[in-house]
């Protein structure tokens, strides 16, 4: 989710489990999660302490959420991954396919403190970080050019933005979010995506590229993009670098985006995996996530510094967000992807 998530997780080694007794054999925990700078920081700052405190070895496998789910499917008969850190959309696919295990409340005792928005059906996995999908824009460019700040997705169809919009591909979660923002604005929904396609096609005219990475930072920094559909936490992280960027909660309501932690079904080391998930829900780690990466806590007892609280999804914003029905979306996604390729990203 965020580049500093691993720094936050450095506390895991202190809370995940007690030092092993001589009678307990060491295990090997395999965690599949986000790559890039997150992976690097995780391997340097988290794994050594976790291995030392738990008497185990940890192997980290980097990849996008869709890549991780693909691995889980390929290994379903003989799982090699213990914990999967994935976005909520792919997580719903994995849960529906029987790839994930139910969390054990006797071990994941922190479940009782998790906000409703982050509790997943059947407690198969849990959201450990929350942000919002909305509109990111270069506020200086907008002001300098006399363009009103965007307040809904259709504002990105303004002719003055021709060639200045980076639009997410439907292959990543932000692309699905963009389609659903357009659908809601046009009176549609997950079950009626027609208004969504009509809306995104109008915006696509202004797009110079369709990003598949879910990280559009460089497009903004290099001046190629002045607007996009993006996550609130990523916007705040870029703003910390002094870049003039603002996140707008669309009038039709932003879409909640959860990073979820999941124990893999038939995981080689299920007990250790359950403890790892529980550690992610500890208040100290949740506060660190918010302070360092602007991901809102998903537990009720992680009190934030007021300055940090202003920059993450708060209670008021969360109340105005409607979660996506991923069961409906995932049933339609293959068809949507084919249509998107032919109608939205057409040359």
- Distance of alpha carbon 37 from alpha carbon 14, whole angstroms: 23
143 shares a domain with 221:
yes
CA atoms lying within 13 Å on the CB side of residue 312: 27
334 shares a domain with 221:
yes
What CATH number is given to the structural domain containing 28?
A: 3.40.190.10
277 shares a domain with 164:
no
pLDDT at 11: 44
The domain of 194 spans 132-254+322-344
**Domain total of the chain:** 2
pLDDT per position in the chain (347 positions), as tens? 544 444 444 444 444 454 443 333 357 899 998 775 556 656 765 667 667 778 888 889 988 888 899 999 999 999 999 999 999 999 999 999 999 999 999 999 999 999 888 999 999 999 998 999 999 999 999 999 999 999 999 999 999 999 999 999 998 889 999 999 999 999 999 999 999 999 999 999 999 999 988 889 999 999 999 999 999 988 998 999 999 999 999 998 899 999 899 999 999 999 999 988 998 898 988 888 888 788 899 999 999 999 999 999 988 888 888 889 998 999 999 999 999 999 999 84
114 shares a domain with 40:
yes
- Distance of alpha carbon 57 from alpha carbon 322, whole angstroms: 40
Q: Which of 34, 29, 30, 103 is nearest to 66 (CA)?
A: 34
Strand partners for 133: 231, 255
173 shares a domain with 25:
no
87 shares a domain with 211:
no
Report the C-alpha dihedral over residues 96, 107, 67, 201, rounded to 10 degrees: 60
Which pairing describes strands 255-263 and 28-33: parallel, antiparallel, or unpaired?
unpaired
pTM for this predicted structure: 0.83
Return the number of other C-beta atoms located less than 10 Å from residue 34's C-beta.
Answer: 23
283 shares a domain with 159:
no
17 shares a domain with 99:
yes
Q: Which residue has the tokens 């029905």?
A: 325
Report the C-alpha dihedral over residues 58, 299, 291, 38, rounded to 10 degrees: 30
Let me know: does 167 contact 203? Beta carbons within 8 Å.
yes
215 shares a domain with 337:
yes
- Distance of alpha carbon 94 from alpha carbon 92, whole angstroms: 5
Structure tokens at 73: 């499917």
pLDDT at 14: 41
137 shares a domain with 124:
no
Structure tokens at 259: 């990073």
DSSP string, 156-177: GG-GGGTT-EEEE-TTSHHHHH
169 shares a domain with 36:
no
294 shares a domain with 197:
no
């Amino acid at each position: 989710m965020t580049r500093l998530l691993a720094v936050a997780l450095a506390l895991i080694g202190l809370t995940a489990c007690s030092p092993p007794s001589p009678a307990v054999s060491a295990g090997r925990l395999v965690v599949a999660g986000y790559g890039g700078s997150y992976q690097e920081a995780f391997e340097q700052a988290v794994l050594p302490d976790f291995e030392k405190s738990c008497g185990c070895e940890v192997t980290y496998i980097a990849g996008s959420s869709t890549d991780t789910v693909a691995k889980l499917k390929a290994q379903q008969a003989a799982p090699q991954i213990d914990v999967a850190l994935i976005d909520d959309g792919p997580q719903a696919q994995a849960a529906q396919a029987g790839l994930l295990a139910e969390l054990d409340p006797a071990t994941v005792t922190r479940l009782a403190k998790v906000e409703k928005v982050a509790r997943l059906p059947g407690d198969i996995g849990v959201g450990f970080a929350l942000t919002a999908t909305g509109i990111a824009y270069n506020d200086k460019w907008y002001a300098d050019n006399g363009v009103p700040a965007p307040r809904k997705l259709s504002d990105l169809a303004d002719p003055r933005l021709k060639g200045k919009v980076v639009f997410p591909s439907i292959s990543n979660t932000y692309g699905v979010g963009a389609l659903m923002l357009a659908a809601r604005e046009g009176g549609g929904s997950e079950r009626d995506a027609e208004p969504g396609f009509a809306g995104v096609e109008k915006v696509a005219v202004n797009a110079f590229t369709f990003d598949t990475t879910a990280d559009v930072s460089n497009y903004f920094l290099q001046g190629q993009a002045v607007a996009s559909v993006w996550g609130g936490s990523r916007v705040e992280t870029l703003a910390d670098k002094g870049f003039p960027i603002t996140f707008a909660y669309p009038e039709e309501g932003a879409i909640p985006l959860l990073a979820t932690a999941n124990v893999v079904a038939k995981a080689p080391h299920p007990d250790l995996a359950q403890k790892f998930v529980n550690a992610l829900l500890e208040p100290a780690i949740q506060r660190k996530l918010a302070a360092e990466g602007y991901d809102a806590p998903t537990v009720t007892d992680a009190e934030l510094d007021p300055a940090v609280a202003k920059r993450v999804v708060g209670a008021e914003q969360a109340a105005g967000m409607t979660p996506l029905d991923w069961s409906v979306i995932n049933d339609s996604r293959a068809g949507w992807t084919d249509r998107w390729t032919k109608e939205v990203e057409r040359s």
